[in-house]
Amino acid sequence: MSLIKSFATVASGTLASRILGFTREMLMAAALGTGPVADAFYAAFQFPNTFRRLFAEGAFNTAFVPLFAKEIEAGGHDGARRFSEEVFGVLFTALIGITIVMELAMPFLVSTIIAPGFAGDPEKYGLTVALATIMFPYLMCMSLGAMMAGMLNSLRRYFAAAIAPVFLNVILIGVLYYAWRSGADGLSVGYWMAWGVMAAGAVQLAIVWGAVRHAGISIGFRRPRLTGNVKRLLWLAFPAAITGGITQINTLIGTAIASTQASAVSSLALADRVYQLPLGVVGIAVAMVLLPELSRALKAGNPVEAANLQNRSVEFTLFLTLPAAAALLVISEPIVRLLYERGAFSADNTQVVSTILAIFGLGLPAFVLIKAFTPGYFAREDTKTPMVFAAVSVAVNIALALILFPSMGAPGIAVASSVAGWVNAGMLLVVLVRRGHWGREAALMRRIPRLVAASLAMAAALWFGAWESAPYLASGSPLIVKATALGLLCLGGMILYFALAFAIGGADAGMVRRSMRRRGPASAPPATPPAAGSDPSS
């Protein structure tokens, strides 16, 4: 499968999840606004979600995938299954212990780490503790699911892992719909949503587990033992978890600081949901596909193919995220108004959330580039260097957030997060270049400034279009009018951007065709083919 086709496979599932996520957040905003129940739910959910991205997605999509791919090449499916069982035994046992400890310590964790600002409000504090206690076992389901997803990615069966997160939003939308039909109060909605998160974790784990079995690998439980392979995984996984989850670490820090101000936590969460669409569709697709492909190229001794993979990934990343960042910067207010402004979500809430979203837009290219740069380290089994850069990024984020929050409020948290993202991306790129691990090409260097120019031109056109369309995008306009006006504005911006990008040489149709047809050592099928009855999602 070509690189772009692999990106598209992952991105399609992620896009479906993000669109349903928007629907979920729209219903949440209408039901709860940015009030105390919304603050409590978002703070409580942020905790297991951060751990999931740190120790599940972060560790296993960076440390586990190269080792699993190596086992497939060396020992076929039998060797890969033995390695997976060794890891599963240790992971399952560790997760049981972590879950028990965290559940018992939840009151302390909420008051010191998750939302220290809630300690002065006993009702909000108690609700956050209760919701976090219900939702924390979600971490166990998703961590085991991330291991299965890493196996599927190594087998080039991307779709099941990409589509599984859709079911979190499907279940939560169902919960919100039932709450609306039954006329439930805000407190009941909060509790029902927490139980919905738990149910979604079990469903997602079942989907990827079934896909792994269908791929020909059946995992049994082995007594946990620190074998050589497991020790190697743990040695790589700890720094990889920190690095892969840097955006989530910064988000958790921002949530803790924002908890001292009413509505700040939910405002940040609602803005985060919007900019997570391009970040998830592009960034996660690049990270999931590039790491196993780059690992294969390097293990095959093919540095030319590895350099091509890195360049095409950065090109793909910038081609799609630069215009997205420009759009978020210029038309964040009508976007937020259309998505959220109804029910308990007021026009004043729109002003705050749209400001945060515009600032996040400035950091969007950096957040996605981080996911394109880090596989260059992880594929070489260097997880320490990105961890150091992640630590520097966290320090920058904390310092700026503490400085800016008192005067700027929640937007100050967004500024700190965006600056920290650019610092991290810059350090990753500089060291890749210095080590000779970045195969820069003249064509890419020519395209980048042209893509920037096309994005700036689109931003100017969107600003003028929004000004002209202001009466149709205003708060008092009917929903269908606002949706139509914003849809036409975005469509016009897209047409202008793509036309300019191709006209001035920021993108090249011949390059796209070559990428679609690209096959080489890194794209060869696994050494041992899957068992009979191939997965239709591959």
Contact status, residue 40 vs residue 265, Cβ threshold 8 Å: no
**Which pLDDT score is estimated for 416?**
92
Reference 371, options 159, 53, 156; nearest CA is 53
**Which pLDDT score is estimated for 495?**
95
**Which pLDDT score is estimated for 105?**
92
Distances (CA, A) of 411 to 84, 337, 353: 44, 17, 8
**Which pLDDT score is estimated for 114?**
80
**Which pLDDT score is estimated for 52?**
66
Walking along the chain (538 residues) 10 residues at a time, the average pLDDT comes out as 55 70 79 80 80 60 71 72 83 88 91 82 90 90 83 74 82 89 85 93 90 79 77 73 64 78 82 76 60 66 74 81 92 91 82 92 89 79 82 90 90 92 92 81 84 95 93 87 92 93 80 48 35 31
Q: How far apart are CA 222 and CA 83, in angstroms?
A: 10
**Which pLDDT score is estimated for 518?**
45
SS3 263: coil
Q: How far apart are CA 293 and CA 379, in angstroms?
A: 9
Contact status, residue 33 vs residue 344, Cβ threshold 8 Å: yes
Structure tokens at 99: 């879950």
Reference 2, options 518, 441, 465; nearest CA is 518
Contact status, residue 373 vs residue 385, Cβ threshold 8 Å: no
**Which pLDDT score is estimated for 55?**
59
**Which pLDDT score is estimated for 530?**
31
Structure tokens at 45: 């959910």
Reference 349, options 431, 287, 291, 265; nearest CA is 265
Contact status, residue 48 vs residue 136, Cβ threshold 8 Å: yes
Distances (CA, A) of 194 to 18, 95, 140, 251, 266: 19, 20, 15, 20, 16
Helices (H), 166-263: 166-182, 186-214, 228-244, 246-258
